[in-house]
Amino acid sequence: MIGATMKTKRTEPHEGSKAQSQRLAAELRREILAGERKAGAKLPTEAELSAQYGLSRPSVREAIAILRSQDLAESRRGSGSYVTAQPRLELRLALPTDSTETVVRMIELRRAVECEATRLAAIRRSTEKLDAMRAASEAVIHAEREGRDGVAEDMLFHRLIAEAADNPYLLQMHEACQSVLLQAMRSTRANERRDPALRDEVHREHRRILLAVSAAEGDWAAGAMAAHLAGAERRLRACAGSIASPASPPFQD
């Protein structure tokens, strides 16, 4: 129990107020995410939390500030602090390095998220969203013809699939991974950019995904995305001796 632990450690000089605040914030965060403190519920006052956990009021105040920074709590003037109406769980991912295995781990993450998103997109997509996916796929080719890397266009293609899945949690996962996925896509794309045959292979994979989504065949679409990501991993490993760093010319997923 964090309260008992903190009361004991409050008198220990080696544990500063910052550590105490972080421990309290972690406990309150656990309670919120576990549903023990409901969305919209009022949090105990600073005085109550101070007495309950044996902490100074400045330490409690800092703990509440940490919860606010994580979108788990909000302060209302003259009323106190409350659990936010829709608490959010923050997803923090380390950016991949330029090593082959790190980028492969990111492809594995993409496979877990994007294959299901593509399956749902095939079932739920609108005509407008399908048209937008086709336009994004064509934009990748157009960007390459102009000598650009096409990374932004490719990212849009994959984001439109996540949007078409019509699942806000999948979309939020995609958004949380976006900067990390950008790093991984730049790594894989830099290798493919060096070989026109590899670029053509990517375009064929995109067309298969679009064909399956257009046909509203969920399992086929998921398989097409899985094949696309497997191809990205295969192409990456084939060029493992020349993995590009983010400063190198980006390349194709």
| DSSP secondary structure, 111-129, as one string | HHHHHHHHHHHHHH--HHH
> What pLDDT does residue 248 have?
39
Look up tokens 């105990």; give the residue: 44
For the segment(s) 100-242, the CATH number from 1.20.120.530, 1.25.40.20, 3.40.309.10, 1.10.10.10 is 1.20.120.530
- Enumerate long-range contacts of 149-156, CB under 8 Å, 24 or more apart: 149/186, 149/189, 149/190, 149/193, 149/249, 149/250, 149/251, 149/252, 150/189, 150/252, 151/182, 151/185, 151/186, 151/189, 151/250, 151/253, 154/185, 154/189, 154/252, 154/253, 155/181, 155/182, 155/185
What are the helix (H) ranges across the chain? Answer: 2-9, 17-33, 46-53, 57-69, 100-124, 127-145, 151-164, 168-192, 196-214, 218-238
Instruction: Give the whole-angstrom CA distance, residue 233 versus residue 4.
Output: 50
CATH of domain 2-83: 1.10.10.10
Query: Where in the chain is CATH 1.10.10.10?
Result: 2-83
Per-residue pLDDT of the chain (253 residues; tens, 9 = 90+): 444 444 433 433 445 678 889 999 999 988 888 788 888 899 999 999 999 999 999 999 999 999 988 888 998 888 899 998 776 666 666 666 667 787 788 888 889 999 999 999 999 999 999 999 999 999 999 988 888 888 889 989 999 999 999 999 898 888 777 766 676 677 667 766 777 888 899 999 999 999 999 999 999 999 999 999 999 888 878 766 544 444 433 344 6
The whole-angstrom separation of Cα 253 and Cα 251 is 7
How far apart CA 70 and CA 79 sit, in angstroms, is 20
The ranges of the chain annotated as CATH 1.20.120.530 are: 100-242
